[in-house]
Structure 1
Amino acid sequence: MEALEEVIRLDKPDASPKFLDFRADLEEYLYRVEDAVATLTRRMAKGDVPVPLLVRRALLTRAVGNFDDAVRDLDRAIKMQPLDGELYRLRSDLVKARPGDGSLDTLASVAARVPSNHLSAVHLQFARAKILEDLGDFPAAFRALDRGNQGMRAHFPYQVSTRLRQVAAARKSFDGIDMATMTAKASSDFAPIFITGMARSGTTLIEQILTAHPEVRGGGEAAFLSRAVRETIGPPEELRPGGVDITLQGLSDLADHYSKRMLARFGPAPRHTDKSLQTLLYAGPVLAAMPRSHIVLVRRDPRAVAISLYKQVFRRGKQLFSYSLDDIRQYQDSFDVLVDFWQSRLKERFHVVAYEDVVQAPEPTVRNLLKRLDLSWTEACLRPEDNAQPVQTLSSVAVRQPINRDGLDRWRPYAPMMGYTVV
């Protein structure tokens, strides 16, 4: 924040492109997404507009719900790099295909000029799958998804056994620790609300609901918690009995490191959200370190989660298990093991919420959740689509709609291909 204040003071109408790039970096990091878009627009007016800059502005405008502007930037980028499959994939997420619009012919023409093992060709398969789904051809969409996911796995190898070992280590390390006693001795008054669950389970929707509350400031996927855990009680991949520092000092350090980083980035507020999907690994120590913190764990029909994962391309290095249906199922099983482990040990501040309850009975479900989180009732939490907080996740389009049931049955057309029984 101090750096941004100084940059704003130094800014001039003739500021260089490099200076404006730096200002936009700071604004984006501090969640001032609309300011970052304005700064990048100034940057583009100075000429020399490379494709990465167009894509960056498109992703930021998408985050604040300006989808038409995002599509325009992507179309401009496609004209400059017509063989970049990722650009078509990003565009397909924002535009619903219509019969006869020529979108499939366009992809086929591009694919004919791109080597089949190139990453660009892999992105084209995901774009093709989205268009085929829009057109109602689910078998063909699934075949494209299979090819796309096989391509991603070839480019980004992953062993799900790494995750299974990590979960087993966490259970061994934290089993038998008296979290209630440790909580009673903790002194931190920082009160974050951690939102966690499987990717694609509805965690972004829950964050948008909660940050519509006037007392709650959104932190998105800040990634500070895992760093604080690694620096204080021990890295998750090395957890073992006696190998973590679950002492009063260790937990105090965890709360101190984490709260200072969150406040420095997002500023003071009565409550902050943190949508870290890895929180479940160390839920007990986190709640013990910060006695006013809460964890909201979102559950969703695993079939819906599985197909939603299989349809996505995540940021490089993220959710690598999602490029194999078998790995997805094993990862889901390990997730269930962790949920059962913590549910049996954590009571008052560990809240499990079903996505299906949220979309089918929003008011009673949201009222109950706010009450459990010690938050007053406000109607604004039933209108997350009006929440101006930027959404920089793959759910940025869906959460700009009113709470609805549309996502409940999207897995069903794919059930035969995935081996699921539809009742």
Structure 2
Amino acid sequence: DMGLVREHLKRSTADIKIGIIDACESGALTRAKGGRRGPSFLYDTDDREATLGLILISSSSENESSQESDELGGSFFTHYLTSGLRGDADDSGDSRVTLGEVYEYTYHKTVAVTASTRSGVQHPTYSYDLAGQGDIVLTDLSKGQAGLLFGPELEGRYLVFDLGREQVAAEISKAAGEARSIALPAGEYAVKKRMQDHLRMVRLSLGEQGAVPVVESRMERVAFEDDYAKGPILRAELERRRRRLSLEAQVVYQGFLSGAARRELFPALPLFGATGRIGPMLGGAYLSLDLLFGSRRGLVLDLGALALSQDFFETQVAGSLMWRFGGSIVQFGVGPRLAALYMRRSFPFDPDLKTQDMLGLSPAGATELMFFVGPGGHVVLSAFGRAGLLLYSVDDNRALAYAEGGLTVGYRP
């Protein structure tokens, strides 16, 4: 309950009480009776000792959601609040981050990044009930602690990634001509700058004291897929999108929809073979190549007044493009397929009858339900259905509809 949070802060004996709430609809806290909405900054005076009271900052307005990012591993509001406190909000360049500066920075960054999200714009709010005009310094960057120094020659947006904790530690947006210091604990970090078609990255090690400069000429060119500074959620998403090859065994049951076609031309048939897949390709599609064989012996060819014993054989070579939807474990696929079918009918007990050969093309549509199981999701299981038309010519051009259903099991590295 936001009212209880507010009352708890009021009961504190501290001269200045600051509450920062990152929760959905937390703007209700700043709208509670007793506070008044403040401007987006506080005025800086020398009367620091006379400043008393309560300040409340919320991540969103009343009735708004506080949004999160998988890539950041947390909320937009907290990410920008932390980046601002580390130094990116030091708009005055005096190596001090004040409450007014960090709120102004966090507000504008959060509004800008959530403007294009599905949930809509998120507006951080704050209220104050203060006696006095003193501004409040939250971070003093001049104390000589460890950190990164972004010199005046640098320009653009930089992400600082904590390699030990596997998460974004800070974000810096700066114009050329200004220097920016970012306070960070000792550890191993990667600084990356996103370009149009690649990343610029550098690894840096921070000790307990002193600032380490970021030198863009030392940043190496890295392809997006080779980004070594990714959080576990983003890594899992990129792994799902990584182009992979799988090899699978396939079993299919094929049947033509026309009963006359099954009796007189093409009997229902089991097919066995292999499938190779690679993807995602351009547009996110997966390319599949199938090689299938099937045969049935001792079938009766019913020609009304005449019944013949026949052996039937089929070979199928096919390619398909499948677009997949879903997560890392279960995916649904749909797409077109084109197959070349070779069929042969022989009459072992009637040597006077010639073997009949037929070659036809078959456009089809396919759907598939896939499961990726086992450690790392390397085992592939799928169930599929296909519907197509066999285009062939004997005495004239003909087209017959058929359906296929089957299963695959395989492995992907």
User: Which structure's relative contact order is higher, taking Cα pairs within 8 Å and 6+ residues apart?
Assistant: 1
Higher strand share: 2
Bigger Rg, structure 1 or 2: 2
Instruction: Give the TM interval when normalised to the shorter protein.
Output: under 0.3
- TM-score when scaled to structure 1? 0.22
- TM-score when scaled to structure 2? 0.23
